[in-house]
Amino acid sequence: MSTSFAVLQLSGCAGCEVSLLNARDWIGRRRLAYMPLVLSSEDLPEVDTLLVSGAVRTDEDLYRLRIAAGRAREVVAVGTCAISGGVANLGNRDEVRALFFAEMERRHVPRILPKLSPVDAVVPPTLYLPGCPPTPELFMAALFNRAGFQASKTVCIECGRTKTRDRPERLQGFQQAVVDPEVCLINQGYLCVGSSTRGGCRAPCTRAGHPCVGCRGPSDGFISRSSGEWMDAIQKVFARMTDIPAEDIARAVRSPQLALFVFQFADYAATPRDVRKVL
């Protein structure tokens, strides 16, 4: 009999669920027992594996996670939001919380918690499956072949673009120029952080000409280090490969373009992860 698994969606966008459905190869090999996005079911039964996407943003998220984790043999934190808060972490900003709490007469919505939390602040995951969303290949590795899955160390390695001696003098705004499909994006003046981002996604963004924004989180070398160390390392990469002023790079890595990565990195530093548990 095939082992069962369930999908619990907390505060998120359902992108992880869509990626799981795109994997498809699990159909007939593992039994999906609970996934409100596609199955009509009120109660989560006991399962072997619980995939949790989204962050703990509301009191309902907190309640559902605690109940569901007690019915599963293992918990897998799926996606950037579940692992570190991701984009949803922007809700921790003071002005965002003030806006929400200014209307306490709200009805028919869950009560927002004072601070967003990743899944491992509530229950201990067996495995972390990073990405925004994780690729179908990673879902299959998590469900069937964890020990045999080998991810590249960084997105930069997977990208495979050619590094050149070109040294741009300014940052290039995305879609403001024609991207050379063969040359490293940094050599073209784009703000790409693939050199410090965990590999395993097969670099679809950078291969298509979009700079990496770090959705899979820090590479092994940075997973337990501070956000300041990561930012210093990124700036050193640009200092080595470009002539772009250091102040421009320092400002850019803290810009909204990299908000997804910068906001999650603070949590990685605060909550050390075992590299062996991250695909």
Domains and CATH numbers, the chain: 4-148 (3.40.50.700), 155-270 (no CATH)
The pTM of the full predicted model, rounded to 2 decimals, is: 0.85
**pLDDT given for residue 250 in this prediction:** 86
**pLDDT given for residue 109 in this prediction:** 66
The low-confidence residues of the chain, meaning pLDDT below 50, are 1
Tens digits of residue pLDDT in 245-255: 999 998 888 77
**pLDDT given for residue 1 in this prediction:** 47
Q: What is the full DSSP assignment across the chain?
A: -PPEEEEEE-BS-SHHHHHHHHH-TTBTTBEEEE-TTTS--SS---EEEEEEESBEEEHHHHHHHHHHHTTEEEEEEEHHHHHH-GGGGGGGSHHHHHHHHT-TT--SSPPEEEEEE-GGGTS--SEEE-SSSPPHHHHHHHHH-TTT----SBHHHHH-PBP-S---SSPPPTTSSPPPSSB-TGGGT----GGGBB--S--HHHHTT-----TT-B-TTTTTS-HHHHHHHHHHHHHHH----HHHHHHHTTSGGGHHHHHHHHHHHHS---GGGB-
**pLDDT given for residue 266 in this prediction:** 52
**pLDDT given for residue 260 in this prediction:** 57
**pLDDT given for residue 255 in this prediction:** 77
